[in-house]
């Protein structure tokens, strides 16, 4: 039995297999409509996340399974002092697989010590959110037909953005990926991403402040939100805020086959008039999230000896 705590738990081959399975699911939905008949997914969301929860639930239903769980910690035994291990041990009596979101880093790892069924980390604090990263990889693969030989721009809050850090870690395992890190200086990636991730991988990278300058070079543009409170001063905020809002004008000199991504929800960092541009792929990305989770559920159940396909 294996769990998914971080994307780096998976080998490149395993990721390739999961992407291939997701692709087959997309092309042959009916073939998978009863794969998980009689099986149950527990969604244990100690912290609310509607988007992630609904994509897991949709995934399990499309495999023929059922779903139980909770959507916030308010109503759980955690408030009675129960440990995460005990909660998960108990729930593993009631479900075949668990997707768990928790505000504390490492909580899903702790949960694996006692569970009887596979655990999927559906986000643990600022640490990891591997199903988002798998979603991003599937989206890039479906749009580009490959995960290497790509120039990917990451734009916005690169300092605090868990999603961005995970995606860099995942993408720098592929060949010839060039990273263009676009952010105001104070919101650039943390030093360890440079020293411990990018440099050891040998990947090419640049750090820039202007989105418009680098736009023509990008194959993929991954936007994230900059929260006002992240800036050191109101002056800095006012100076920068428009520079990191993507609108149709900034796309003027972009490649015709650029892929625009965003983990969602967005606030105003992508203007809604971009939504109708064929290069906007953030809603397709959300849809891919359902398919990669279907593939993941099937894979973990198979590894645990609880599913054959």
Tell me the DSSP string of 170-185. HHTTSTTEEEEEES-G
Q: Which is nearer to its own copies, 214 or 295 (CB)?
A: 295
CA angle 23, 139, 137 (to 5 degrees): 95
Query: Shortest approach of its own copies to residue 194 CB, angstroms?
Result: 29
Task: Write out the two tokens for 117.
Answer: 């069924």
CA-based nearest residue to 215, from 263, 273, 264, 260: 260
Is 306 an interacting residue with respect to its own copies (CB under 8 A)?
no
Whole-angstrom Cα distance, residue 121 to residue 107? 9
Residue 145 found at the interface with its own copies (CB under 8 A): no
Residue 114 touches its own copies, criterion: CB under 8 A: yes
Q: What radius of gyration, in Å, describes the C-alpha atoms of the chain?
A: 20
Instruction: Give the integer Cα–Cα distance in Å for 108 and 255.
Output: 40
Task: Please report how close the Cβ of residue 183 comes to its own copies at its closest, in angstroms.
Answer: 20
Distance in angstroms (rounded) separating the CA atoms of residues 137 and 131? 10
Binding of residue 54 to its own copies (CB under 8 A): yes
Stretch that binds its own copies, among 39-47, 136-144, 154-162, 187-195 (CB under 8 A): 39-47
Rounded to a whole number of angstroms, the distance between the first and last alpha carbons of the chain is 16
Size of the residue set binding its own copies (CB under 8 A): 49
- Token pair for 157: 């809050």
Q: Nearest distance from residue 113's CB to its own copies, in Å?
A: 10
Catalogue the active-site residues: 51-52, 80, 101, 129
- Build a one-symbol-per-residue string for 69-88: x at contacts with its own copies by CB under 8 A, - elsewhere: xxxx-xxxx--xxx--xxx-
Q: Should residue 55 be labelled a site residue for its own copies when binding is judged by CB under 8 A?
A: yes
Is 265 one of the annotated binding-site residues?
A: yes
Q: Flag whether 230 is marked binding.
A: no
Question: Measured between alpha carbons, how far is residue 276 from residues 14, 104, 265, 288 in Å?
Answer: 34, 38, 17, 18
264 labeled part of a ligand binding site: yes
Nearest in space to 159 (alpha carbons), one of 231, 214, 212: 231
| Residue number, 49 or 217, with CB nearest to its own copies | 49
Helix, strand, or coil (residue 262): coil
Kindly state whether residue 28 participates in binding its own copies, applying the rule CB under 8 A: no
Footprint (CB under 8 A) of its own copies, residues 250-289: 264-267, 272, 275, 283, 286-287
User: Which residue number, 42 or 197, has a Cβ lying nearer to its own copies?
Assistant: 42
Alpha helices in 160-233 (DSSP H): 162-171, 191-192, 199-201, 211-214
Question: Do the beta carbons of residue 120 and residue 300 sit within 8 Å?
Answer: yes
By CB under 8 A, residue 91 contacts its own copies: yes
Q: Which residues bind its own copies (CB under 8 A)?
A: 33, 38, 40, 42, 45, 48-51, 54-55, 57-58, 61-62, 66-72, 74-77, 80-82, 85-87, 89-91, 93-95, 114, 264-267, 272, 275, 283, 286-287, 290
Residue ranges of the annotated binding site are 51-52, 80, 101, 129, 132, 162, 225, 264-265
């Amino acid at each position: 039995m294996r769990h998914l705590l971080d994307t780096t738990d998976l080998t490149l081959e395993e990721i390739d297999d999961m992407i291939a399975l997701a692709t087959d699911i997309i092309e042959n939905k009916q073939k998978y409509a009863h794969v998980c008949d009689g099986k149950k997914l527990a969604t244990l969301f100690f912290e609310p996340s509607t988007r992630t929860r609904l994509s897991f639930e949709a995934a399990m239903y499309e495999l023929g399974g059922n779903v139980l769980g909770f959507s916030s910690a308010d109503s759980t035994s955690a408030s009675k002092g129960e440990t995460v291990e005990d909660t998960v041990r108990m729930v593993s009596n009631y479900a075949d697989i668990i997707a768990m979101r928790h505000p504390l880093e490492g909580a899903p790892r702790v949960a694996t010590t006692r569970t009887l069924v596979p655990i999927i980390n559906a986000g643990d604090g600022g640490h990891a959110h591997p199903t988002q990263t798998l979603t991003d990889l599937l989206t890039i693969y479906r749009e580009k037909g490959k995960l290497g030989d790509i120039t990917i721009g990451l734009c916005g809050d690169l300092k605090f953005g868990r999603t961005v850090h995970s995606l860099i870690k995942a993408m720098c395992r592929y060949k010839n990926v060039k990273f263009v890190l676009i952010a105001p200086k104070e919101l650039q990636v943390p030093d360890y991403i440079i020293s411990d991730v990018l440099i050891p991988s040998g990947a090419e990278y640049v750090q820039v402040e202007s989105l418009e300058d680098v736009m023509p070079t990008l194959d993929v543009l991954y936007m994230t939100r900059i929260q006002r409170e992240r800036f050191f001063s109101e002056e800095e905020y006012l100076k920068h805020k428009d520079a990191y809002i993507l609108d149709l004008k900034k796309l003027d000199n972009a490649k015709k086959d650029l892929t625009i991504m965003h983990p969602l929800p967005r606030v105003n960092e992508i203007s809604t008039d971009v939504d109708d541009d064929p290069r906007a792929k953030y809603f397709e990305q959300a849809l891919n999230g359902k398919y990669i989770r279907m593939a993941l559920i099937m894979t973990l159940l198979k590894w645990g000896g609880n599913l054959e396909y």
